[in-house]
Amino acid sequence: MRLYIAEKPSVGRALAACLPQPHRKGSGWIETGDGVVTWLFGHVLRQAEPEEYDPKLKRWRAEDLPILPEVWQLVVNESAAQQFAVVKGLIERADEIVHGGDPDREGQLLVDEVLDYLKNEKPVRRILINALDDKSIHDALNDLRDNRDFLPLKLSALARARADWLIGMNLSRAYTLAARRAGHDRLVLPIGRVKTPTLALVVRREREIENFKPATYYLLDAVFCHEKTGDNFHARWKPSEEHTPLDSEGRLVDEKAAQAALASFGAEPQDAKVTRYERKKKEEPPPLPFSLSALQVLAGKRYGYEPQQVLDTAQKLYEEKLTSYPRSDAEYLPVSQHKDAAKILSNLAALDGSELGTWAREADAKKKSRAWNDAKITAHHAIIPTTVPVNLTRLSAVERNIYELIARAYIAQFHPNCVYDQTKVEVTYHGELFAASGRTERAAGWRAMYRTAKNEEDVEKEDEESAVLPPMKKGDVADYVSAELGTRQTKPPSRFTPATLLQGMKEIHKYVKDEAAKKMLRDVSGIGTEATRASIIEDLIRRRFLNAAGKKKVLTPTAEAYLLIDALPDTMTYPDATAVWEDRLHSMAQGEGTPEEFLAGQAAFARDLCAAAQTATITGGGGIPCPACGRGVMQKRKGKHGAFWGCSAFPQCRMTANDADGKPDFTGKSIPRSAAETSGARPSTHPAPAYAPRGSYTPTANEQAEMDALFLD
């Protein structure tokens, strides 16, 4: 018997529908004329909790950290136990298995981990389903692979899952305990390998805005008359730092210098010379089809949709067989897919009353843009329409908008390049440089499809490049006509929205601290994955580390966010290390490196940061500061001899005091001089009592449930 294992029920049903009759449905499976189809519900196995390795680890204690499993364990999710039993029974009966997980590293792992857990030794083949329409599934069935070819994908996903566990479990415990020692009695600090540096992006951006001081700078635009043609043109003064005071960004901020320059330019002689003139014909290819992140960013900017909303909508369109697999990080298409172009464009051309129909009718199905590139394809391709016709009236407004974005990007691949002339001019006048640029469009090509949906960036860019310049050549003479001094003010950086924060996660090289790492990471795919970035942002909002306000969901950090980021060392809050790790995980998916090597580095990182947590300074906890160490706060305890007070930083600090009417009595206590001076307590040479509070913490059931969900990223 051949057994197909799909990632989810919807994929299983679509796959079964494309297999020969007769069909017979059972509980969690469908029997067909070519074997049985069953399915999972995503990850039916989960990483074991620390207390499932050792019951004593249920209590959070600093001395138990870091927790480093010697043999990693998986546990069947209770919610999926029934379906897991079905899959297990079918695997036992099967002669051959077809792995039908989603075509990415996470989809590869979630079926492979079940097979490994059950110690399967039967042959396994791989089917890559990029869309759920019948044609795509039949194509995939005719192209089954050997599952062993995808081992690097599994290993990469496995390394990522275990790294997230190591960082999340250990550092969340270590810094929650540090917060407890500082007097934050009920605060849980969730720390994640991707989640924390993402939160830090928002915290640092907010501080940039708070500390921003606007500065005025000056721009001088001159008008010159070309001597031969008599045509006027504008050029902007480019002051040199040698002769003019400029700020660190190369801007003219000295008003007196600006006014002096304006006055001097009106003096004789008033003839200028064209010292550079370039006019080049250029062609701009259409933008590539969408990866999930690119779709989420554009939909967020254009419609204000949140990333998770875009993913959910794209998933629904996929399950309705209208678009291809949504959790894709690819923006390219396999050459073999080009044969479907005529059918897809024909369906879109039939959409009367829609711009999609007009654009599709003008498309050339034979044209092959740069998007078709097998060298850029791994397990999946860009998000595109399928060969299934769409009825736009049956879609919700959000579904229609997302579908139209996807379809337009696909249609654009079959339109001509945009052709334009790019002109650059430099003029020397009074020994100073003036520059202008112009862009003259010859043929709009694909850009005609985007005229109706310009964003502000497009408009600003075209304004800068659309100056009309007369024909001229190097060495020509021009006469100075006039000049105008304008003022601008520097603006603070914009606050993140979910869409722009997701873009920041994808373009993480812009935010790394180390310049060498910045260059190295320019080409990496960012931090997080296409499937998890939206959920990470949503989780930070749900856990009230971020507030989302207004129609655009502008993000601002909460007090807890500042506390968490300030408590952690830069190695955890800056994205440098996480981005490097993501790069290594990507390389592992290509067959370079091993999980063991990668996880050894993660274990060392967890060990270092757990040690750093012992001396972390966390403020704002309230309570009575410990006069001995200055880091902890005094907490009331019950001991063998009655109530007493002990430092929350035990066992590092063993300061105790007797209870006096609900307050600690420091009379006669031995307090270090430096601490006594800052605390106001009286020093003493008397030793502290032998008893001391226990330095451990057992989370409540609700807190434990919160912690269980932390470690996807």
Q: Hey, which residues are catalytic here?
A: 325
What's the CA gap between 589 and 591, in Å, rounded?
A: 5
In Å, the largest CA–CA distance within the chain is 103
Tell me the CA distances in angstroms from 498 to 536, 571, 576, 578, one per residue in order.
Answer: 10, 24, 21, 20
Question: What contacts 129, CB < 8 A, 6 or more positions away?
Answer: 11, 14, 15, 100, 102, 103, 136, 137, 140, 325
| Alpha carbon distance 621, 604 (integer Å) | 30
Q: Taking a C-beta distance cutoff of 8 angstroms, is the pair 480, 272 a contact?
A: yes
Distances in Å between the alpha carbon of 330 and those of 120, 379, 382, 399, 534?
Answer: 32, 9, 5, 21, 17
What whole-number distance in Å separates Cα of residue 544 and Cα of residue 49? 24
Of residues 507, 533, 527, 551, the one with CA closest to residue 308: 533
β pairing state of 60-61 and 663-665: unpaired
Q: What is the residue-wise DSSP string for 233-274?
A: EEEEE---TTTS-B-TTS-B--HHHHHHHHHHHTSSP-EEEE
CA-wise closest residue to 105 among 524, 532, 522: 532
List the end-to-end C-alpha distance of the chain, in Å, as a whole number: 38
What are the C-alpha distances in Å from 482 to residues 218, 228, 263?
A: 16, 18, 10
What's the CA gap between 444 and 438, in Å, rounded?
16
Given a contact cutoff of 8 angstroms between Cβ atoms, the answer to whether 639 and 692 are in contact is no
Place of tokens 């929205």: 497
CA distances from 502 to 294, 298, 533 (A): 9, 11, 6
What are the backbone angles phi and psi of residue 49, rounded to the nearest 5°? -75, 160
Distance between CA atoms of residues 359 and 632, nearest Å: 67
CA–CA dist 13, 236 (Å, integer): 64
Sequence-distant (≥ 6) Cβ neighbours of residue 589 within 8 angstroms: 105, 152, 153, 155, 156, 378
The residue assigned the tokens 């499809």 is 449
Which residue, 283, 416, 412, is CA-closest to 359? 412
Give the orientation angle of helix 307-319 with respect to helix 397-412, to 10 degrees.
Answer: 80
Amino acid at position 554, single letter:
V
How remote is the C-alpha of 122 from its chain's centroid? 38
Q: How many CB atoms lie within 10 A of CB 514?
A: 14
